[in-house]
Amino acid sequence: MVSESSTPPYFGIDPDRAMADLDTPADTGRFARIAQACAQGRDDLARQGMDETGAKTLRLFSTWEITRYLIPVNTAHFRRVLRANPDLPQGRSDTTGGAKWFTLDEVLRLRAHFSEAGSRAKEYRPYRPAGLPAKMVAVANFKGGVGKTSTAAHLAMSAALDGYRVLVVDLDSQGSMTSIFGGKVADEWQTVFPLLARHYARHVQGDNQRRQDRGEPPQPLDDTLSEALDMRADALIQSTHWPNIDLIGAQLNLYWAEFQIPVWRMGARGWKLWDALADSLTADGVLDRYDLIFFDTPPALGYLTINGLSAADILLVPLGASFLEFDSTGRFFDMLHSTFASIEEAENMAARALGREGLAFEWDAVRALITRYDGAQQGEMAALMQAYLGPTLSPHRQDFTALIGQAGEQVNGIYEADYRDFNRETYVRGRETFDATYAAFKRLLTGVWRRDELAAQKAAE
């Protein structure tokens, strides 16, 4: 018990003892030493999830998990199907008669079998209209620490477990999403940077043709732009330890794009910089090879974020149930309005002068999502936020559980965690909140795709 006469710890600090605790004054070299220590620690932690070759591996999935979470059949029927079809993956067991474990690639093969031979009343594969391109999803907020990267990663993993083909695009030069998926990125030429540079270079080429037609000298392309003209998305996409998740990674040099893009824009006012990423992915056929593309954006409304947002069909904005995060998120939406409205205004002014169709940005859906939720402490604030934001705020709250913290310590996503490392109840509860988050997202995605499907059918009539 604290005595009433005791003083707070900030009283009575001895100046000489405080000085003795100091290190020597820091010079710029100190930053390099701190960065090196962090890099060593990061590499050591990341290696916890790697195999003996230094590659990140995905854990196995048990029969219990498969029949509870991945393929909607009861365990007895699942085992009967395996016995009747010896050509199907049979799993592996540590002991005779013990639980069977399967790789995710084997689970996908099993799902395909049940989809072809199983009951038509069950959903073995997720809804995906034929003939429509992938849906692009941006996860954004300019306030850090709101769960942006972890939300994007867990939705990507959820979608992959559900059977979707997923591409994750890391637009944040901090590269956290790249680390989660074990990506290796040497420099900016293995990020989205060359796609943006190529888009600008092609604009300059078209502008030069028009200059030549008018008898004017062309604008020269430097070595960077000339090299970018030969780059395609295929050269940037790397596979991950998930069989149906691919990655375009990021690293620190990607931040250079934030300085280079405005220089390019000054050199060619007609270049539509906000279309660079979407146009490049579309031109390279990326939208035809995947079902979902997730953009993890930087915690700032810079040029990379603008590219991710303008490319996206669906915008997700994670935030915590606190006044400061609610306030910051409101300012984020205000900045979104100012930024995209100013682009529309400038473009449409020119379009009206030339008698062309104007520009209007549009998103299929926009949702804010409360993350790291503590119902005992934040219920009132969450209800208040819901009252103000209405349907823009998802009614689902993503709870914080022990599973989240432990998975984060191991540089893993929730779905990469082995349930044997947890109390079964803790694992199930942790799964429930993230499964519910994915369910809310999948409902949104399904509705958007269905609307597109009906529109396409109507247009074909």
pLDDT (tens digit, 9 = 90+) per residue, 236-295?
Answer: 999 999 999 999 999 999 999 999 999 999 888 889 999 999 999 999 999 999 999 999
Res. 407 pLDDT band, cuts 50 70 90: very low
More confident residue, 354 or 303: 303
Rounded to the nearest integer, the mean pLDDT of the chain is 89
pLDDT for 57 = 87
Query: Which residues, including other chains, have CB under 8 Å from residue 114's CB and lie 6 or more apart?
Result: 71, 73, 81, 122, 124
pLDDT at 154 over 60: yes
Res. 33 pLDDT band, cuts 50 70 90: confident
pLDDT for 252 = 92
pLDDT for 423 = 75
pLDDT for 65 = 92
Taking alpha carbons only, the member of 442, 428, 443 closest to residue 164 is 442
Residues 287-325 as b or e (16 or more Cβ within 10 Å = b)? bebbbbbbbbbbbbbbbbbbbbbbbbbbbbbbbbbbeeb
User: Which tokens is 4 given?
Assistant: 């009433």
- Tokens 């365990």 locate to 75
Q: What percent of the chain has pLDDT over 90?
A: 62
Question: Average pLDDT for residues 330-356, to the nearest whole number?
Answer: 87
Query: What does DSSP say about strands 238-239 and 245-248: parallel, antiparallel, or unpaired?
Result: antiparallel
pLDDT for 337 = 94
Compute, in degrees rounded to 10, the torsion defined by CA atoms 408, 410, 414, 420: -140
Residues 418-455 as b or e (16 or more Cβ within 10 Å = b)? ebeebeeeebbebbebbbebbebbbebbeebbeebbee
More confident residue, 360 or 164: 164
**Range scoring the smallest mean pLDDT among 38-47, 128-137, 161-170, 374-383:** 38-47
H-helix segments, 47-145: 63-65, 75-84, 104-117
pLDDT at 145 over 80: no
Taking alpha carbons only, the member of 158, 268, 145 closest to residue 206 is 268
3-state SS, residue 194: helix
pLDDT for 312 = 96
Res. 45 pLDDT band, cuts 50 70 90: low
Query: Which residues, including other chains, have CB under 8 Å from residue 217's CB and lie 6 or more apart?
Result: 211
pTM greater than 0.75? yes
pLDDT at 144 over 70: yes
Torsion angles phi and psi, residue 34, rounded to 5: -65, -45
The most confident of 133-147, 151-165, 409-423, by mean pLDDT: 151-165
Q: What sign has the CA pseudo-torsion 238, 241, 245, 251?
A: negative
Contact (CB, 8 A) for 158 and 106? no
pLDDT at 409 over 50: no
Res. 109 pLDDT band, cuts 50 70 90: very high
pLDDT for 456 = 93
**Range scoring the smallest mean pLDDT among 229-238, 314-323, 346-355:** 346-355
